[in-house]
Chain A
């Protein structure tokens, strides 16, 4: 899982970084505030041959391009289930309708005949990272995480339904152009969000269960996520990386900050049609800080002439090391996250005027 096993920081440097980050207010190495993101360059609708596309460049030079392509596919017979049946909406991942939708959302799609007919298999996410094979752990894990968020959103796969015999199949190809300098998940997720926002499907001309016929005028095509003049419309999910150090919560952590993280969460939030953000997926990520080398207390360090290692019993040495956790020398963090902290992290993302809303608004203003 960990993309970097060799973090080029000494125990002393890690300890310094940990201390400065756990202060109130925290001191980040690049002087940002806890919720501030690094600057980025974004553009959408860059490719003529894709239904939707976007490119994002982070300030550290990492760059991703996402192309969304849709193809019409014949639905297999096994997929045609009655629209009021229990099985509808239960996809191959088993996320189903209930996992993602609350009662309020059900009311919204009542008039829409495609509600609940989407299948998980209609969406395919592929990630390409230079120097890595397609079946390496990192691309597979990242694509699973992004797919999960997109499917849990619910609305997306229902939009791919054309009629009872045909559906759209959506391919999301994600290319990471540069070496993965920091954990690439937020970059890939933001780029996918932008690409989906710009995705258009040809307008349907045929009716009901006929073989689908489309309007060949691209100007008449419909957006997968139709934009409205107000900010209140459905939007694809974004996955944000949130880390904690002590009681401090930091957004958009850099590589150095991740090296001292107590815990890292990937929180996916999507906007519903009422303009409210809600969490659609959550994953804990094993932070690379767990793989850092621990420092040795001075009393035990034989190179400084201390004889503690010989005189003390094994139990005493262990106790000393455990008590010293993050105090005088660096110790890799262990254990889980307090539930209150997780709740606080989620709240900071989804609350009104929170970080998630700010990110969505920023991305919505990207010009094509």
Chain B
């Protein structure tokens, strides 16, 4: 079903009632599971993700001993069969999932202080319970929260979001507004990119785009994305601080 963008030109409101620069409702929890070293639950609109972190620990799998001087970040993503509109089981060898795993692992390999844990692995497991757009961005944010819960030192939060571009035809160049934080139906129709930054908007860690877009629109999309990352960083920081306060209060009383 094509995306009905006729309302947007009239009222500048998207299908779910947001303006171009508004995020969806974002919600997160830390320490949701006792058995793991670190865990988090993250919601971006209807995209819901559970993340657990185990480690740093001795490498279990693989025969040879790991001789590297850095900890290795292993990411496993499981997309539940009931997460989408239609029930679909995805195998672990799905190319799209593998690419996401690689993107997340390389982003955190550079942000975590892996040199403190030689010969060890940090295993991140992500369970996607419900997907409605911005999957990679939500995964990155959930990982950040779980890694903070696990107490693994890192230089800064990685906060991520998606941006899209409204009209997908060249003749409507003047109405091409950049859109922040796409939902599932927008993502299927519009060109979009995922941007993840650390330290507010100083350093871009992840920038992925799989669709085509006119070169002239890219700059606006990225700048809107960087601004969105800054907002998300603030939200993540709020979640971490609220959790910290709760932990401290339970220790005191």
Question: Taking beta carbons and an 8 Å cutoff, which residues of A are in contact with B?
Answer: 46-50, 53, 57, 60-63, 65, 67-69, 71, 126, 128, 130, 171, 173, 175, 177-179, 181
Contact = CB atoms under 8 A, between A and B. Distances in A.
Contacts of A46: 129
A126 B82 CA distance: 11
Nearest to A53: B82
B35 A175 contact: no
B82 A177 contact: no
A60 B35 CA distance: 7
Interface in B85-102: 85-87, 89
Contacts of A130: 76, 78, 125
B89 to A, nearest CB: 7
B80 to A, nearest CB: 6
A61 B34 contact: yes
A259 B89 CA distance: 35
B89 A126 contact: yes
Given A47-B130, A71-B87, A128 B35 contact: no
B221 to A, nearest CB: 28
Given A69-B81, A128-B78, A49 B89 contact: no
A69 B125 contact: no
Nearest to B131: A49
Interface string B60-96: 0000000000000000101011111111010000000
Nearest to B60: A131
B243 interface: no
A83 B86 CA distance: 31
Interface residues of B, number: 25
Contact of B82 (A57, A60, A63, A69): A69
A67 B35 CA distance: 22
A47 B129 contact: yes
Nearest to B81: A173
A117 B48 CA distance: 37
A33 B80 CA distance: 37
Given A50-B82, A71-B86, A63 B125 contact: no
B123 to A, nearest CB: 9
B76 A67 contact: no
B127 interface: yes
Contact of B35 (A48, A62, A65): A62
Contacts of A181: 35
Interface in B22-56: 33-36, 46, 48, 50, 52
B202 to A, nearest CB: 35
5 contacts: A49-B85, A63-B35, A65-B80, A67-B82, A69-B81
B127 A177 contact: yes
Contacts of A53: 82
A68 B89 CA distance: 13
Contacts of B33: 57, 61, 63, 177-178
- The 7 A-B residue pairs with the shortest CB-CB distance in the complex, in nearest-first order: A61-B35, A67-B82, A61-B34, A178-B35, A173-B81, A50-B82, A69-B87
A47 B81 CA distance: 12
A68 to B, nearest CB: 7
A69 B81 CA distance: 9
A54 to B, nearest CB: 12
A67 B129 contact: yes
A175 B127 contact: yes
A128 to B, nearest CB: 6
Given A47-B83, A49-B84, 7 more contacts: A49-B132, A65-B127, A69-B82, A126-B89, A130-B78, A171-B81, A177-B33
Nearest to A50: B82
Interface in B164-207: none
Most buried by A among B50, B81, B86: B81
A175 B89 CA distance: 13
B35 A68 contact: no
Contacts of B80: 65, 67, 128, 173, 175
Contacts of B85: 49
Contacts of B129: 46-47, 65, 67
B83 A49 contact: yes
A305 to B, nearest CB: 39
B245 to A, nearest CB: 22
Nearest to A195: B82
A49 B130 contact: yes
A173 B129 CA distance: 11
A179 B39 CA distance: 13
A61 B54 CA distance: 13
A50 B125 CA distance: 22
